[in-house]
């Protein structure tokens, strides 16, 4: 379970970029504690486009989802192709490569994740909100295939 970068990463990333890199690394490793450690208590994750009807998650729900994924996937990787940094916001364009333990492949789902970070009282940053724009055609097909596998 890896994060690879075809996008350049600064030699000395900002504090807000460091926290985004940590959530990516923790997420791809299904490290629920790692994800929890870099998200605010009021963290929210949502998918775009909103019209696709995909679920929204609170921090507790998102952390539980990350933890549950380790029982489903054999391989899971993020290929980060571009990072755009602005004050309190990081935009990550990446491709997710995943295969379930039963052999279902995700067909390389592209996504853009907009991560909003907030400076904490101690000067560190945490992720407050994540809006994930996914290739809904591929995502819905993959989710259906995974669901069939889980029900079999």
Q: Given this model, what pLDDT does residue 145 score?
A: 76
| Pair 23, 115: CB distance under 8 Å | yes
Q: Is 41 helix (H, G, I), strand (E, B) or coil?
A: strand
Q: Given this model, what pLDDT does residue 139 score?
A: 73
Q: Would you write out the chain's pLDDT as a tens digit for each of its 152 residues?
A: 789 898 889 889 999 999 999 999 999 999 999 999 999 999 999 998 888 888 899 999 999 999 998 888 888 899 999 999 999 999 999 999 988 888 888 778 899 999 999 999 999 999 999 999 988 777 777 777 778 877 77
Region 2-151: CATH code: 3.10.450.50
Q: For the chain, what are the domain ranges?
A: 2-151
Strand order in 57-58's β-sheet? 2-5, 73-86, 89-100, 109-119, 125-134, 39-48, 57-58
């Amino acid at each position: 379970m890896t994060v690879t970068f075809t996008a350049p990463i600064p030699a000395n990333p900002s504090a807000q970029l460091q926290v985004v890199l940590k959530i990516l690394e923790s997420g791809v490793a299904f490290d629920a504690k790692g994800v929890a450690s870099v998200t605010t208590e009021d963290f929210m994750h949502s998918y775009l486009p909103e019209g696709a009807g995909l679920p929204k998650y609170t921090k507790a729900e998102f952390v539980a989802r990350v933890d549950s994924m380790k029982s489903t996937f054999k391989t899971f990787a993020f290929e980060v192709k571009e990072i755009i940094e602005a004050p309190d916001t990081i935009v990550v364009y990446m491709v997710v490569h995943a295969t379930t333990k039963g052999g279902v492949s995700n067909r390389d789902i592209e996504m853009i994740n907009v991560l909003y970070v907030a400076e904490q009282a101690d000067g560190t940053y945490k992720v407050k909100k994540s809006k994930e724009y996914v290739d809904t055609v591929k995502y819905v097909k993959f989710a259906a295939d995974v669901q069939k596998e889980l029900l079999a």
